[in-house]
């Protein structure tokens, strides 16, 4: 090793399928890193396509564009080594690979060995596994290559060490869920212990449909100590020095160890990033949402404004005869506090028109629920009309507790393009509102303090239809995220009849959730990609002995 080796870990935000845009980001970051004195710049997993590309990988045209982009990168990026993740076709097989490129030449190529096929991952659908370690020498230092899941299997670190690696460069597209950062640190520390060499871990950042990638790139030395740490939820070019000391290669970074953050701050940042990227990457002008004066829409508005800026957000109050004056007042106050466009559009007239045309059909029938849902659907029509006219996406405001038990109206309050709170239980909604107000008081206190209500009939409260959220949310967590049976849940101190009732509500509302907008994933088991249950099913755990 003639002198120290300087790396730059590119914690970048790519867009799936935007091959030309991702190419330009890669070139820009590589040249910036070179000009800052780096010898090696490291991009995340599948940087050229964005992650996850899903069935785009089946499109022949994608691979032609990837090849053209790689050729241009090779021509433009000079004077620095580039570690770049890309899909590598080889005959009938496709690999999740990374190359080391220098002055137009490919010095090394590594194929991911361990393909995740659980939770939100289905890489075995697309890729074949690699089977060997790859080590490349740069300025006298032998660097082993590794991709994402490989580092969660400590044997691959030992394999790299046996092949001569002095440290490992691991590239990732590792999505966020609550408390994911300490899990990653523990996994990489296990790999460090198995291999006995340092690891530089680079992660992508940004929102992609339901997934949020939180970055948080870092480096660990051979003793498991943290050498460098990038911030979470923002782009960063993390500098890293590789030096040979008395006990082998050591990594040194310019960022101190990140302070542990509150869970509320972590989740809030994830939601903001998810909203911003979903709206922006899908080329919407902004967003519009129904601001009811309730806590869910209040949190959604705060998130939207923090994500997009007040000028790109419109809030609409749509009162009915059952809407309390305080609901309109609180909605207006929050919109003023946050500086966004606000409108009041009463729904009495369209609801009356629906009642009139439906009267011959509904006469003599119990129309209570139908009448309530007409109100919600009238609001959905109004918001979608605003969306069509303004180019703004409708944000739905329902939370995970409501979506779990079907406490939502198809084509009504479920109408929209994105559901920021889809994976946020009701109790966490309260915590997030209180956390946001602690930063600056934008949500009226009365919104947080009032008993929650859909306001679709006189004196309605959520507790009329649902168990208290203090009971409901823990049951839902155990049933949905932990896959516990009703009897297992009841054994933990919950009323068995209540648990069975909640489980039955969850099961019979799968058809609603299948039609719901995507939303940010913050838990280990979100509705959608994570939890895939049949709509038509007679499986029933309620009568379990």
- The residues annotated as belonging to the active site are 45, 112, 148
Distance CA 397, CA 15 (A): 25
Instruction: Tell whether the torsion through CA atoms of 49, 52, 56 and 58 is positive or negative.
Output: positive
- Cα separation of 533 and 417, whole Å? 22
Q: Which phi and psi angles does 301 have, rounded to 5°? A: -65, -45
The whole-angstrom separation of Cα 399 and Cα 421 is 5
CA–CA gap between residue 294 and residue 273 (Å, rounded): 23
Distance CA(375)–CA(161), nearest Å, equals 65
Query: Do residues 266 and 274 touch, judged by C-beta distance below 8 A?
Result: no
Q: Which two tokens stand for residue 133?
A: 């370690």
Neighbours of 122 (CB within 10 A): 15
| 195, 168 contact by CB (below 8 A) | yes
Contact yes or no for 239/36 (Cβ under 8 A): yes
Residues contacting 132, CB < 8 A, separation 6+: 113, 159, 163
Query: Hey, CA dihedral for 190, 193, 196, 198, is it positive or negative?
Result: positive
Distance, in Å, from the CA atom of 83 to the CA atom of 152, rounded to the nearest integer, reads 20
Instruction: Decide: 433 and 443 in contact? Cβ < 8 Å.
Output: yes
Contact between 408 and 414 (Cβ < 8 Å): yes
Question: Residue 342 phi/psi, 5° resolution?
Answer: -140, 135
What's the number of CA atoms in the CB half-sphere (13 Å) around residue 507? 17
- Answer yes or no: are the C-beta atoms of 379 and 317 closer than 8 Å: no
d(CA 492, CA 311) in angstroms, rounded, equals: 48
Q: With CA atoms as reference, report the closest residue to 181 among 289, 260, 89.
A: 260
């Amino acid at each position: 090793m003639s002198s120290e080796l300087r790396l730059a870990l590119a914690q970048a935000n790519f867009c799936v399928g935007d091959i030309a845009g991702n190419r330009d980001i890669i070139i820009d970051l590589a040249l910036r890193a070179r000009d800052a004195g780096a010898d090696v710049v490291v991009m995340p997993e599948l940087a050229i396509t964005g992650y996850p590309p899903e069935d785009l990988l089946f499109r022949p045209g994608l691979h032609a564009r990837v090849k053209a982009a790689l050729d241009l990168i090779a021509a433009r990026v000079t004077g620095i080594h580039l570690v770049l993740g890309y899909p590598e076709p080889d005959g009938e097989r496709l690999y999740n690979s990374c190359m080391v490129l220098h002055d137009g030449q490919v010095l090394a190529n590594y194929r991911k060995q361990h393909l995740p096929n659980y939770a939100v991952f289905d890489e075995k659908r697309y890729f074949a596994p690699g089977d060997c370690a790859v080590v490349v020498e740069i300025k006298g230092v032998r660097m082993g290559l590794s991709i994402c899941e490989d580092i969660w299997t400590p044997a691959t670190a030992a394999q790299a060490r046996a092949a001569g690696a002095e440290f490992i460069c691991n590239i990732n597209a590792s999505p966020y869920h609550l408390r994911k950062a300490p899990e990653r640190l523990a996994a990489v520390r296990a790999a460090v212990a198995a291999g006995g060499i340092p690891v530089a871990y680079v992660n992508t950042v940004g929102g992609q449909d339901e997934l949020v990638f939180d970055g948080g790139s870092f480096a660990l030395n051979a003793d498991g100590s943290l050498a460098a740490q990038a911030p979470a939820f923002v782009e960063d070019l993390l500098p890293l020095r590789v030096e040979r000391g008395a006990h082998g290669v050591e990594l040194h970074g310019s960022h101190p160890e990140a302070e542990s953050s509150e869970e509320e701050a972590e989740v809030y940042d994830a939601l903001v990033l998810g909203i911003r990227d979903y709206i922006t990457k899908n080329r919407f002008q902004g967003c519009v949402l129904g601001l009811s004066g309730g806590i869910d829409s209040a949190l959604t508005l705060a998130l939207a404004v923090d994500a997009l800026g007040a000028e790109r957000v419109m809030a609409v109050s749509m009162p009915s005869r059952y809407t309390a004056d305080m609901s309109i007042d609180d909605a207006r106050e929050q919109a003023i506090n946050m500086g966004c466009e606000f409108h009041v559009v009463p729904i009495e007239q369209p609801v009356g028109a629906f009642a009139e045309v439906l009267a011959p059909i509904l006469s003599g029938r119990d129309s209570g629920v139908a009448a309530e849902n007409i109100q919600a659907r009238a609001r959905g029509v109004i918001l979608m009309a605003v969306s069509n006219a303004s180019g703004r996406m409708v944000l739905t405001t329902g939370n995970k507790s409501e979506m779990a038990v079907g406490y939502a109206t198809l084509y009504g309050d479920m109408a929209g393009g994105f559901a920021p709170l889809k994976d946020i239980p009701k109790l966490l909604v309260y915590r997030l509102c209180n956390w946001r107000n602690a930063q600056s008081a934008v949500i009226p206190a009365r919104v947080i303090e009032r008993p929650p209500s859909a306001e679709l009939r006189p004196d309605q409260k959520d507790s009329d239809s649902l168990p208290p959220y203090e009971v409901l949310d823990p049951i839902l967590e155990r049933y949905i995220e932990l896959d516990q049976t009703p009897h297992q849940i009841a054994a933990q101190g919950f009323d068995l009849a209540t648990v069975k009732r909640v489980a039955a509500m969850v099961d019979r509302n799968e058809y609603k959730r299948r039609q719901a907008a995507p939303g940010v994933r913050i838990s280990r088991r979100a509705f959608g990609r994570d939890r895939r249950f049949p709509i038509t099913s007679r499986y029933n755990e309620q009568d379990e002995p």
